[in-house]
Copies of this chain bind each other. A is one copy, B any other.
């Protein structure tokens, strides 16, 4: 005799853990940390809210587990840094804008930006992630004494572009074709990386 047909473990593999992570990524990116609730993540994953805690611990834990850069710096950076040194800014700008145009990349970046402005612990985690995986290697590649400072300036323009074009949606910057945005921003990055300050 089955007393309750709803509770209890399902047969077979369910992939619930990943479903929760995917829904979490989606919602953190779309709404930001505060406006994403554990309950709504569970709903999108088609799952009971208690499973979120069960698999991923607290909400902050889940966020940190799910927060990743939209690319693998160790793969990408060498490709950008190699080749004509005068074109590094262009290659960097191209890569960034491409990443922002692809829905998945944009989502991840927006999640980072949104979280950094609301949840202090997230801001700390993001700062450390960026410093270790992007700014530090970038600075080493530049080699100059003030390389870390330069890397920070680069980051400031990248973040600002993200905000202005994709979050606030300032026109006509928001609807300009990607290529002309690259051309506009590339010299800035080039100067921050290798030009006079």
Contacts and interface: CB of A to CB of B under 8 A. Distances in A.
B169 A127 contact: yes
A170 B152 contact: yes
Given A173-B149, A197-B184, A117 B113 contact: yes
A51 interface: no
A158 B160 contact: yes
* Main SS at interface, chain A: helix
Interface in A141-190: 148-149, 152-153, 155-161, 163-165, 167-174, 176, 180, 183-185, 187-188
Interface of A: 32, 34-35, 113-114, 116-118, 123, 126-127, 130-131, 135, 148-149, 152-153, 155-161, 163-165, 167-174, 176, 180, 183-185, 187-188, 191-192, 197
